[in-house]
Amino acid sequence: MPTLPPPAWLPQLDALSRGGVLQQTPLAAYTSFHIGGPADYLAIINRPEKLLAALNLLHRAEAPFLLLGGGTNILISDAGVSGLVILNQCKTISWPEHSQQNEQTTILVEVDAGAPLAGFARESVNRGLAGLSWAVSIPGSVGGAIIGNAGAHGGDIASALHSVRWWRSGRVETLPARELSLGYRSSRLKSQKTGEEAPIILSAVFRLRPDVDKQAAARAAAAIRHRRRTQPAGKSAGSIFKNPPGDYAGRLIEAAGLKGRCAGAACISEKHANFIINRGGATAADVMTLINLARNEVWKRFGILLEPEILFIGDWRQGPALVDPRR
């Protein structure tokens, strides 16, 4: 097969990417699952002005791309991703000056979409702000958390998000949070994963408040303890399935007798059945086999369809794909 010429945008993007654009680079190292085949091209961008320049460059060139943040809540196929992947590592946080007043005072904090959510939440607690204590143990980036409306311990992104600044088709716009249709682990953005027409979150403004009752740190510590007590350590993508109404995906999978079930080097966690653990060297095909097993068994035994919370990225034409157990 003849070697294709490099794309015309490559030299300019190479100058914007930290360390230059990488070619045929496995994406496993950039995901919490440590699973994923190669990208044809990978650009790592850590400054907001460079990210905006890259997006505009690709828009003019009509070049499709995929943008990744923290690499959590996703499963990348073993075949990888054709074309370009941009890894957003922009992490600036603009902390406003404030003097503590009362719990009704609103403090607006702007944060880049590539910033780790847990780190942002912990720093907000350290600065005497309340509103994100629930997020101190949630992995992933701010942008990804917004797309999936991440939540825990009675809080979620929707409860604290004020607005987002996004790029779409060469234009930068600011939208109030109410226009994002944030629901249970969902938003209007979650189905738009690839392509230059999909909106790309650049930054977000969160609505926090002074920690008047001095309980934010205690709530954060309790959230961390709960996570360590109830969720497994190791390489995973977080919760695999959404909880069905009135029930828990983990309970259903456990009741179906699947705790500890393995496919290759991937195993349904003994600690929490809604987690699949990569024991080392697991493939996306291993994980998909377990996902289909869980969906099939839960549907057969309880008549409940488990809906994935994670996103499936890349080329899935080879190997197992997601199967509807109702068929």
- Contact between residue 214 and residue 179 where contact means Cβ atoms under 8 Å apart: no
pLDDT of 100:
62
How many of the other CB atoms lie within 10 Å of CB of 87?
23
Active site residue 196: no
Task: Please give the model's pTM, rounded to 2 decimal places.
Answer: 0.91
Active site residue 309: yes
Of 245, 231, 236, which Cα lies nearest the Cα of 305?
A: 245
Q: Please give the full DSSP string across 45-61, using - where no structure is assigned.
A: E-SHHHHHHHHHHHHHH
- Using CA atoms, how far residue 158 sits from 79, 135, 216, 282, in Å, is 35, 12, 18, 34
Residues 19-49: tens digit of each pLDDT: 999 999 999 999 999 999 999 999 999 999 9
Give 72's contacts (C-beta < 8 A, 6+ positions apart).
31, 32, 139, 140, 141, 144, 237, 238
Residues 250-296: tens digit of each pLDDT: 999 999 999 999 999 999 999 999 999 999 999 999 999 999 999 99
Which of the residues 133, 236, 239, 269 is marked catalytic? 239
pLDDT of 296:
98
Residues 116-171: tens digit of each pLDDT: 999 999 999 999 999 999 999 999 999 999 999 999 888 999 999 999 999 999 99
- Using CA atoms, how far residue 131 sits from 56, 128, 212, in Å, is 34, 10, 11
Q: Average per-residue pLDDT in the chain?
A: 93
Which of the residues 123, 196, 254, 309 is marked catalytic? 309
Active site residue 270: no
Which of the residues 77, 124, 185, 203 is marked catalytic? 185
Q: Which domains does the chain have, with CATH numbers?
A: 10-88 (3.30.43.10), 93-229 (3.30.465.10), 232-313 (3.90.78.10)
